Amino acid sequence: MVLTLNRGQSSPDTYSQRFIKEEVLAKLKALDNRARRKGLQSLDPSKNQLIPLGTEINGEGRVTKNSYGVFHLAWRAEESGDWAARVNAELDEIKQAIKEAHGTRLRFLIWAGMGGSAEDKSMYQGAGLLRRGPRVYVLDSTDPAKLSSILEDMKQRSKLSLPEVLKSTLVAGMAMGMTSYEPVVNLEKLYGLYEKHGIDSRANFIYMTLPGSLLDQFASARGYRRVELQLDNGNATAGRHSGPLTRGSLYPLGLAGNDLDGWIEGACLDGETIQTAWELASYLQTQADAGRDKVTLLLPKSWESAGVWTKQDFEESLGKSESSGIKIVIGENVKLSNYRPPRDPKQDRVFLVVQRKGGAGPDPRKVAALKRAGYPVASIQIPKGVPLSGYMQFIHYVVFGLGYLRNMNFVTQPSVELYKAITARIHAEANQAGGIRQCESWKRFQAPGATLRYRAGVTLHFPFLAGATVNTKDAAAAYAGFLKAQTESGAAGTAELTFFGDTRYSPAGAAVRKALDRAAENVFRSRLKIPVDVYEGPAMNHSYHEMVIGHGGCFSTILISDKAASLPAAGYTAGYHMAQFLATQMALAERNRAVVAIVLKDLEDSTVATLGEFFNQVAKHLK
Q: The domain spanning residue 426 has which CATH number?
A: 3.40.50.10490
Based on the fold, state whether residues 489 and 418 are members of the same structural domain.
yes
* 434 domain residue, yes or no: yes
Q: Buried b vs exposed e over 446-482: b needs ≥16 C-beta within 10 Å?
A: eeeebbbebeebbbbbbbbbeebebeeeebbbbbbbb
DSSP helix, strand, coil percent of the chain (3-state; round to 5): 50, 15, 35
Among residues 211, 239, 266, the one where a domain terminates is 266
How far apart (Å, rounded) are the C-alpha atoms in residues 296 and 147? 33
Based on the fold, state whether residues 476 and 449 are members of the same structural domain.
yes
The percent of residues above 90 in pLDDT, for the chain, comes to 87
Based on the fold, state whether residues 182 and 297 are members of the same structural domain.
no
Residue 595 has pLDDT above 60, yes or no: yes
Based on the fold, state whether residues 245 and 280 are members of the same structural domain.
no
Residue 14 has pLDDT above 90, yes or no: no
Amino acid 201: pLDDT: 98
Amino acid 623: pLDDT: 83
**Closest to 580 measured CA to CA, from 182, 15, 55, 309:** 182
Tens digits of residue pLDDT in 609-623:
999 999 999 999 998
- Maximal C-alpha separation, the chain: 68
Based on the fold, state whether residues 146 and 279 are members of the same structural domain.
no
Q: How confident is the model at residue 10 (pLDDT cuts 50, 70, 90)?
A: low
Domain range for residue 304?
2-12+269-406
* 447 domain residue, yes or no: yes
Tens digits of residue pLDDT in 456-470:
899 999 999 988 888
* 282 domain residue, yes or no: yes
Tens digits of residue pLDDT in 430-451:
999 999 999 999 999 998 889 9
Amino acid 498: pLDDT: 97
* 20 domain residue, yes or no: no
DSSP per residue over 32-97, as a string?
Answer: HHHHHHH-GGG--TTT-THHHHHEEE-TTS-EEEE-THHHHHHHHHHHH--HHHHHHHHHHHHHHH
Tens digits of residue pLDDT in 363-376:
999 999 999 999 99
Based on the fold, state whether residues 219 and 241 are members of the same structural domain.
yes
Q: Does residue 294 contact residue 338 with C-beta atoms inside 8 Å?
A: no
DSSP per residue over 260-303, as a string?
Answer: HHHHHHHT---HHHHHHHHHHHHHHHHHHHTT--EEEEE--GGG
* 396 domain residue, yes or no: yes
Residue 199 has pLDDT above 90, yes or no: yes
Q: Does residue 3 contact residue 379 with C-beta atoms inside 8 Å?
A: yes
Based on the fold, state whether residues 164 and 195 are members of the same structural domain.
yes
Q: How confident is the model at residue 178 (pLDDT cuts 50, 70, 90)?
A: confident
Based on the fold, state whether residues 329 and 227 are members of the same structural domain.
no
* 66 domain residue, yes or no: no
Query: Half-sphere exposure of residue 274, counting CA atoms within 13 Å on the CB side?
Result: 16
Sign of CA dihedral 421, 543, 513, 612: positive
Single-letter amino acid code for the residue at 345: P
Q: How confident is the model at residue 12 (pLDDT cuts 50, 70, 90)?
A: low
The percent of residues above 70 in pLDDT, for the chain, comes to 99
Q: What average pLDDT is seen over the chain?
A: 94
Amino acid 5: pLDDT: 86
How far apart (Å, rounded) are the C-alpha atoms in residues 274 and 264? 16
Among residues 406, 439, 467, the one where a domain terminates is 406
**Pairing relationship of beta strands 2-6 and 108-112 according to DSSP bridges:** unpaired
Amino acid 479: pLDDT: 97
Can you list the pairs that 472-478 forms with residues at least 24 positions away whose Cβ atoms lie under 8 Å? 474/617, 475/614, 476/614, 476/615, 476/617, 476/618, 476/621, 477/617, 477/621, 478/452
Based on the fold, state whether residues 348 and 494 are members of the same structural domain.
no
* 212 domain residue, yes or no: yes
Q: Does residue 336 contact residue 558 with C-beta atoms inside 8 Å?
A: no
Total tally of structural domains belonging to the chain: 3
Q: Does residue 241 contact residue 396 with C-beta atoms inside 8 Å?
A: yes
Amino acid 7: pLDDT: 66
Based on the fold, state whether residues 484 and 617 are members of the same structural domain.
yes
Amino acid 543: pLDDT: 79
Based on the fold, state whether residues 390 and 418 are members of the same structural domain.
no
Q: What is the mean pLDDT of residues 121-141?
A: 97
Among residues 383, 406, 429, the one where a domain terminates is 406
**Pairing relationship of beta strands 458-461 and 594-600 according to DSSP bridges:** antiparallel
Tens digits of residue pLDDT in 49-95:
999 999 999 988 999 999 999 999 999 999 999 999 999 999 999 99
The answer to which of 11-20, 238-247, 602-611 has the lowest mean pLDDT is: 11-20
Based on the fold, state whether residues 150 and 291 are members of the same structural domain.
no
* 42 domain residue, yes or no: no
